[in-house]
Structure 1
């Protein structure tokens, strides 16, 4: 590979090299826009299963063995299928891994997946944890899908999560706090219950008023109701330098009984002037837990953890026409702009 042997997140050209060398394989040819600046989009395969419960395969066991224990019925994704809210599914992914020694991976939901409150996690054979793929792993990968608020329509090829590959154990460069913006005007959206199905391959094709209720804070405060799902925006602009990548981590309970941001990866160039994104905000997917909670303008709700890349990426965030560069408060790409 062309970059150094220092620990770090692999950039786009290193992912391209892994694909060329057969370390990342696919049932179908890779899409031209599948490789991001520091991550790889993953695509649903042909089959999914409605399962009775979430699970981990455990050491020495394959995911397919556990599916046989808990499967209720099989879905054909080549024809499209609706995944019902409140249910759990396991789906094949088109991609397979033959990671070389020293290279491991971590998965996270794509931004658009988190913004419609679809909880997804990666599984690998014998994997003791969700989302983390062991160094040198050879085998298939799967995705657990659990729609929380909206039922969703998916198909073979739908992209719900992404894979970040890394060499060694990258050091944490710094950790930054992220506050919430609750200034005047529409400061967020709350998901409506019993909304129509969201087609996850249909961009700008849904009327947001059918799915979301706008929120106007009072005196810089917003009351979070338990079990409800909210879209808010960060107080600060977020900027990811071109030689770094970041992950937004859920806040610990010491600052509030809520969870923020299912989709955690921020690629190099997000929010930078160099990539024409200066001033971009982080969008926060927020769910309150057991008790009502009052958020205040500027309150810390999440943290960004920065890690180094092994080399400057050949492409930056926004080069592929991302929906979320230069964003402020913004719903997922599936919805038309509010008021249009």
Structure 2
């Protein structure tokens, strides 16, 4: 790949970063860890429960900051429970020695966001969460705060993902219109492009009485993040059915799984990201886990357009969502090179062709 090609780095470039020492780990990558346009990050051996979330500020390193903020250490080697309402800092197995022209951003994995586990990546000398500046050389840390369900994690668990980019990769609305005409980026709703592809909420379902979402239950059981299909969904979730008007009142600080009206398509030469919060559309946050890999909803990868599952949390006041209301934006970036493997091509992609769907940890709803 030419050194001056801008864009999001694909799977083959991430593999090369392990080979050339830009990504450093004592353990080789495991199957499925490198995605078409991102890398899953693995938890290390120790978690530190801390008094509060933080950025390093004037302190030189995260470990230096931990000296004053940590409450106790948690050994993750045999598995440990991270409790709701607590904040943990975990050194990650991967560290970085980035070239001067490569930067990175991080996000929770889709399955992490659908469990309402608030997860961010921090760095030494960090001034922003989930942001790694070009040329950064140092360790990575995950800040983890389960908000609804206690979770069981262990060394090697993967809650966060990181995406690498060279130069400017975001494409303009004018160019996005051209891509939409050629590849049909969204279907099934009122397609609108402005500041990215705008997405709206589906609260109609298939008519009155149909399932339109889930609300998380409080005081439920423990979720093992490394065991897909191990949990009964109704032990953790209350189904939401359309009873009358296609609308839903979001209760403050409740967590919901909803779905977009539009089916989303990410062509092979592009990657996308959901804007996690937009104050212009209401006092709520949509979609903690924002990365959409190349091939999401793509026909050659087994997709026919896939709905965007929305992790929604209202803030401060009750808020009414109505069917078709704009709830977020999907911004697209160009790839520096087409990925050798697309989302859904036999790499353990759990959400290709999805509609309304809980995380991979739950069995199918009866």
Q: TM-score range by the shorter chain?
A: over 0.9
* Aligned equivalent of 1:192, options 213, 217, 231: 217
Q: Give the superposition deviation at 1:22.
A: 0.9
Q: Which aligned runs of 4 or more in structure 1 are off by greater than 2 angstroms?
A: 171-174
The answer (yes or no) to whether the contact 2:296–2:305 under 8 Å persists in 1 is no
Which residue of structure 2 lines up, in the alignment, with residue 101 of structure 1? 100
Between the aligned partners of 1:70 and 1:312, the Cα distance in structure 2 is 44
The answer (yes or no) to whether the contact 2:83–2:146 under 8 Å persists in 1 is yes
Does residue 160 (structure 1) correspond to residue 159 (structure 2)? The answer is: yes
Which residue of structure 2 lines up, in the alignment, with residue 32 of structure 1? 31
1:126 counterpart SS class: coil
Counting matched residue pairs gives 338
Between the aligned partners of 2:59 and 2:300, the Cα distance in structure 1 is 47
Between the aligned partners of 1:312 and 1:115, the Cα distance in structure 2 is 28
* Aligned equivalent of 2:281, options 255, 264, 285: 255
Which residue of structure 1 lines up, in the alignment, with residue 327 of structure 2? 301
Which residue of structure 2 lines up, in the alignment, with residue 326 of structure 1? 353
Which residue of structure 2 lines up, in the alignment, with residue 208 of structure 1? 233
The answer (yes or no) to whether the contact 2:9–2:165 under 8 Å persists in 1 is yes
Which whole-Å deviations, capped at 9, do the CAs of 1:133-171 have from their partners, x for residues lacking one? 010111110000000000100000000000000001223
Matches within 5 A, 1:1-340: 2-3=1-2, 5-59=4-58, 61-174=60-173, 175-183=196-204, 184=207, 185-217=210-242, 218-319=244-345, 320-339=347-366
- Structure 2: state its 5+ residue gaps: 174-195
Q: Give the superposition deviation at 1:6.
A: 2.7
Between the aligned partners of 2:125 and 2:167, the Cα distance in structure 1 is 21
The answer (yes or no) to whether the contact 1:173–1:307 under 8 Å persists in 2 is no
The answer (yes or no) to whether the contact 2:59–2:65 under 8 Å persists in 1 is no
Which whole-Å deviations, capped at 9, do the CAs of 1:212-234 have from their partners, x for residues lacking one? 00001331111111110000011
Which residue of structure 1 lines up, in the alignment, with residue 192 of structure 2? none
2:12 counterpart SS class: helix
2:17 counterpart SS class: helix
Between the aligned partners of 1:125 and 1:67, the Cα distance in structure 2 is 12
The answer (yes or no) to whether the contact 2:268–2:295 under 8 Å persists in 1 is yes
- What TM-score do you get using the length of structure 2 for normalisation? 0.91
Q: Give the superposition deviation at 1:79.
A: 1.4
1:119 counterpart SS class: strand
- Structure 1: state its 5+ residue gaps: none
Q: CA RMSD in A?
A: 1.0
2:111 counterpart SS class: helix
Q: Aligned pair in 2 of structure 1 residues 16, 173: CA closer, same or farther (>3 Å)?
A: farther
Q: Give the superposition deviation at 1:321.
A: 2.6
Between the aligned partners of 1:294 and 1:4, the Cα distance in structure 2 is 49
